[in-house]
A and B are shown apart, each in its own frame.
Chain A
Amino acid sequence: MSPSDKIIQLRSLIARQTAAPVARNARAETGLASVDEALDGGLWKGGMVELVGAARSSGSAALVRTLLKHFATQGRWSALIDGQDCFDPQLAGARVLSSLLWIRCREADQAMRSADLLLRDGNLPLVVLDLHGNPEAQLRKIASTTWYRLQRVIEPTAVALLVVTPRPLVPCADARLELHQSLPLSALEWNPGEVLCRSSLRVTRKRSASGFDGQAFAAEAG
C-alpha cells in the first residue's frame, strides 16, 4: 500500500470514528402521550431508555406491547430481544407480529450479545431488550461497563433502545421509566389504554446530556 493510500485510509477511519452522531434531540414517538410528554417527544434516537418494572404485574410488558404496536402501525420494524423467552405472540396481535424480529434468548448474557449485534447493525429503528424475567443471578453478572459500551455503539445510529429490567440496572440510560405498583386483578378487564393511565409511572431523566453518572438522575414526572 502506498503512503497516499494509507493517508486516505487513515482519514476515512478518523472520519468514521469522529462522525457527528445523530442529533441528540431526535426522538422516536412511543404512542403513549404521557411518556412522550415526559421525554420531550419520545425515546432517544441513538440513546437508551430504561423501563423498570419494580413491582410484579405493574404493566411493563403491556407498555412494551403498546410501543411495538405503535411502531408497527407506522410500518416500522422493531426487534424484541427476549432475555428469558417469555413473550407471548398470541397476545401481541397480527399487526405487531408482522413487523417484529423476535430473538428468544435463554439467558441474559445471550441477550446482551444479541443487543450488541443488533445495535451495531443499526437497521431496525427500535430495539427492545427485555431482561425483566431473568433471574437476579444473571443480571448481577452484567458488568456496568457493558452498558457504557452499548451506549457508545448506539450513539452514532438512529436506533432507539428500550431496556426492560426488574430493578434499576442501566447506569447510563438517558431516562428511566419506573412502574412501582402492581395492578389489581380487575386490570385484566380494562381497556389497553387504561393500564398506563391508572398505573403509577415515574419518569426520571439524566441531569446533563454529557454526564454519564448513573446517580445523576433527577425526578421530573410522577
Chain B
Amino acid sequence: MFAAIVVPDFRLQAVLRHAPELCSKAVALISEQQPHACILQCTPEAHAAGVVIGMTTSQARARCDTLIVRERSPAAERPARAAMLDCAYAFSPFHEDTAEGVCTLEWKDARLPEAGKIAQAMIAQLASLHLLARVGFAPNAGLALLAAQSAKTWTCIQDARELADLSVESLAPSERTLELLRRWGIRTVGAFTALQREHLVERLGAEAATLYDRATGQATWPLRCVLPAETYEEAVEFEQEIEMLEPLLFMLRRFLEQIARRLETTYLVAAEVTLRIGFTTGEDHVRTFKVPAPTADVEVLFRMLHTHLEKLAAEHPIVSLHLVAIPSRPARQQFELFAPALRDPNQFYETLARLIALVGNDRVGMPVCEPTHRPDAFRMAAVHFGTEKELTDDPACEMSLTLRRFRPPLGASVQFQGRPCSLVSAPVRGQVRTAEGPYHASGDWWDAMSWDRAEWDVQIADGTLCRIYCEGETWFLEGIYD
C-alpha cells in the first residue's frame, strides 16, 4: 500500500509557517520583489478577493487592497520540506521526496485497515508543524498521488475509476495538450480515460500515453527512499530589519518549538544547536552550543540561547536567522545507580554561562597547572564532568600551609642585612621576626617568560607569614601563607 502527502501551495505555506497569523488573510507569493513580479501562489482569501495566479502585483493590489505580498524564500522551503519528510519517516521508513510539497510512503502490507487513523495522525502532525496537507492512499504510487490531489483532507482508493471526477489538470499535462483537451471539452480524468489510448496517442503524441497510464493507475515507480535527516534546521529572512531582542527571541522560540516537534516525531533529542544571525552588512554571527544533557525540551534550549543573546551586542540590524540542531539518541541511564555528577547538567551549564557573563570568560573554569616550575603558571580549562582518572598529587602540594597570592605580586620595600629585616608593602608592614631563605629559582632563560629570583619566607612581627622575593634589585610580596 502507498500513501502520498501533498502540501498544496507549498512555497506559500513554507513562507507562512513562521507567521501562522497570516494564514487567514489575503496573502500572495511572488518570486522576487520587483514592480512587475507575477503572483505564484495565493491564499483562498486572496483568491476569493479576485487575485489570480499570474497577475502582476499591482494588478492584484488593484483587486484586493488588503493583499499582503510575500517573497518566495528558498531558505524557508528547505526546512519545510525536511519537516514533511520527518513526518513521513515517523509513519514509514520507506518514503520518497517525490517533488516540492509531495512525499510518497510505502508499506509492505497490501491493505492498510487503519488508513483513516494514519491519515488523521499525519495531517495533525503536519498541522502542528504549520503545514496543511492532504493524504491519499492507493495500491500504487501514481494512484496515491492522484488520490491525494483529489482529497479534501484524506482519501483511500482501490481503483482508478474512483478518480473519474478529478480535474484533468491533476495529470500535469503540458500547456499545449491541456489547451487541446479544453477545446475538446475534456475537463475530468473520467472523460479523458473514456477515450481509447491508441486514439489519444495518434492525435496528441507520446505524452498522451504517459497521461493515460497516469490516469488509469498503470503509471508507477519504485520509490527512491531517503534517509532520515542528520540535522534539523529552521531559517527565516526578515522582511524588515530587526533591532530589538524581543522579536528575535519570539522567532527563536517558534523555531525551537518546530525543531522540538520534529525531534519528537523521530524520538531524538538535540545534542548541539548552531545559531546563525545575519546582519545588514552581510556579516554573520555564528555560535554553536553543545547541549550538556541532550534534550528536546524547548524551555531548556531556549534558556541556553537567551542567556547568550542577552550579552550579545550587535552593531548592525538583523536580517536573517538560522537555527540548526544536530540530533542524538536520548541518553539512557539507570536512576540512582551510577548517578551522574550533576543533578541537572543543563541548569548547571546555564549557571556557568551566567557566571562567565558576570566575571569574565577567563575567570571561570577548572584550573590546570602548566607543566613548568614557573611560579603561578596555570590556565583555566572548560569544566567537563568526564570519567575520573587516578591522580597523584605533586610533593609540593604536601605543604602544610597554602599561599594566598597577590596577582600580580605587589611591590615591596625590604631592608636587607644578610636577611630581610623589615618589610613595607600595601597589605603588610613591620619588622621581620624570622626569615628563611634564600631559595633560588630560575628557568625558561631561553624565552621571554624567563624568571630568576631569590625567595624568602618571612614572619612579620604581627605574626603574618609571607613569601617575598627579590628579582634583580626589586623586591616583591608574592603572597601570604595561610
Binding site for B on A (CB under 8 A): 53, 55-62, 65, 75, 77, 84-95, 97-106, 110, 113-114, 117-118, 120-124, 132-133, 181-185, 187-192, 194-195
Contacts and interface: CB of A to CB of B under 8 A. Distances in A.
Contacts of B348: 121, 123-124
Given A101-B364, A104-B364, A95 B358 contact: no
Contact of A86 (B347, B369, B401, B404): B404
B407 A86 contact: yes
Interface string B25-45: 000000000000000000000
Interface in B426-447: 433-436
B465 to A, nearest CB: 4
Closest 3 CB pairs of A and B: A182-B463, A93-B393, A93-B397
Interface stretch (B7-15, B250-258, B309-317, B376-384): B376-384
Nearest to A95: B391
B343 A118 contact: no
Contacts of A124: 348
A104 B464 contact: no
A112 B399 CA distance: 30
B121 interface: no
Contacts of A60: 482
B174 interface: no
Contact of A113 (B358, B378, B398): B358
B407 A57 contact: no
Interface in B331-350: 341-345, 347-348
Nearest to B386: A98
A125 B53 CA distance: 66
B403 interface: yes
B482 A53 contact: yes
Given A91-B402, A123-B342, A185-B457, 18 more contacts: A53-B482, A56-B465, A65-B402, A88-B402, A90-B369, A90-B375, A104-B363, A117-B351, A120-B351, A121-B347, A123-B351, A181-B463, A182-B465, A183-B465, A185-B433, A187-B401, A187-B465, A192-B399
Interface of B: 341-345, 347-348, 351-352, 354-355, 358-359, 363-369, 375-378, 380, 383, 385, 388-389, 391-394, 396-407, 433-436, 457-459, 462-465, 479-482
A129 B351 CA distance: 16
A103 B359 contact: yes
Contact of A91 (B341, B383, B391, B403): B403
A77 B358 CA distance: 21
6 contacts: A62-B400, A94-B391, A117-B355, A123-B344, A123-B345, A124-B348
A145 to B, nearest CB: 20
Contact of B366 (A85, A86, A91, A97): A97
Contacts of B355: 103, 114, 117-118
Give the interface centre of B347, B366, B376, B388 by most chain A CB atoms within 10 Å: B366
Contacts of A132: 404, 482
Contacts of B363: 85, 103-105
Nearest to A133: B404
Contacts of B480: 56-57
Given A86-B404, A89-B367, A91-B399, A56 B359 contact: no
Contacts of A84: 404
A114 B358 contact: yes
Contacts of B465: 56-57, 182-183, 185, 187-188
A19 B89 CA distance: 43
Contacts of B342: 77, 123
A188 B399 contact: yes
Contacts of A87: 367, 404-405
A110 B344 contact: no
Contacts of B434: 184-185
B158 to A, nearest CB: 45
A61 B347 CA distance: 30
A113 B393 CA distance: 32
Contacts of A59: 401, 482
